[in-house]
Structure 1
């Protein structure tokens, strides 16, 4: 449901982004073969999987930090003392995993940033990555969004032949 509680039929941005992110996966499932790992959709899927895993790990780390802060004088302890707490080893292991995931994401993003979309599924995948980054923090999404705009400027619907974007809205 959208923020506008007066209209229960309105679709929220979160719902729209969720549906957009599922579109490439649903269409791929219908084709019965997963996207190639080095394809644009495959790289976006790998980036998103790493993002979800990193988010879950970060939430676990934050929960452990809350426990440490409530039971110990966590914020006044040195790094060495923090590692000695009961939750210290798990927090340290999570930090290592997060660094690995962020490096993986960086590699996937760099690969995606060099690729141009060729179909609507690739465009949707780019939009999901860009929107995910933009929702978390303002990052380097500009090149991805420019590629999406370039695609939509030229693309037409295979069903009716009309352009996806009206000429007056085109960025040409």
Structure 2
């Protein structure tokens, strides 16, 4: 993590942990239930983050080495990193569509157990992370509290403790 970035909850590491724990809490048939939908949405969201960071890194390199922002579209396409950037753009376009469909499915599906409800909170916190403010702070506080609790039915933690690094 860059020194100038202040970590916010839930972090990528925490979200990956939640996705893993939610996957473990799903019904026997893969892809069913709120927990599975949350895990799938979080996986898409994390891939979007990773690809966006990679694209940003390539753009920064292109700006430093080739004055990217002053180049024509044709000259940009000729740069060594252009093919990877185009691949990332295409993948991101599909991921954004898939994530929107996943969110729509989450809105239509009612959580019937604690793991699913907690998963929805984590998804909501990831969505609110961009806006920050009071809603994000309330969601992350609720997630921090729930992460210390165990499911009374199965004894599993609702989620791993939030990453504070």
Is TM more than 0.5 here?
Answer: yes
Q: 1:104 aligns with which of 82, 98, 109?
A: 98
The structure, 1 or 2, with the larger RCO (C-alpha pairs under 8 Å, 6+ apart) is: 2
TM value normalised by structure 2: 0.66
Structure 2 counterpart SS, 1:14:
coil
Partner of 2:62: 68
**Structure 1 position 24, deviation (Å):** 6.9
**Are the counterparts in 2 of residues 57 and 94 from structure 1 also a CA contact under 8 Å?**
yes
Deviations 1:85-115 (A, max 9, x none): 1111110110000001111101111000111
What is the distance in 2 between the residues matched to 1:95 and 1:128? Answer: 26
**Structure 1 position 61, deviation (Å):** 0.4
Partner of 1:9: none
Q: 1:26 aligns with which of 12, 18, 21?
A: 21
Partner of 1:81: 75
Divergent runs of 4+, >4 A: 15-21, 31-35
Quote the RMSD (CA, aligned, Å): 3.2
Partner of 1:48: 42
Q: 1:135 aligns with which of 123, 129, 136?
A: 129
Which stretch of structure 1 is more off in the superposition, 35-44 or 99-108?
A: 35-44
> Quick one: structure 1 residues 121 and 32, their matched pair in 2 at CA, closer, same or farther if it must change by over 3 Å?
closer
Gaps of 5+ in 2: 1-6, 140-150, 154-165
> Quick one: structure 1 residues 17 and 86, their matched pair in 2 at CA, closer, same or farther if it must change by over 3 Å?
closer
TM value normalised by structure 1: 0.64
Q: 2:9 aligns with which of 5, 14, 20?
A: 14
> Quick one: structure 1 residues 59 and 27, their matched pair in 2 at CA, closer, same or farther if it must change by over 3 Å?
closer
Deviations 1:37-87 (A, max 9, x none): 132111111110011111111101000001100011210112222111111
Gaps of 5+ in 1: 1-11, 146-156, 160-172
**Are the counterparts in 2 of residues 74 and 82 from structure 1 also a CA contact under 8 Å?**
yes
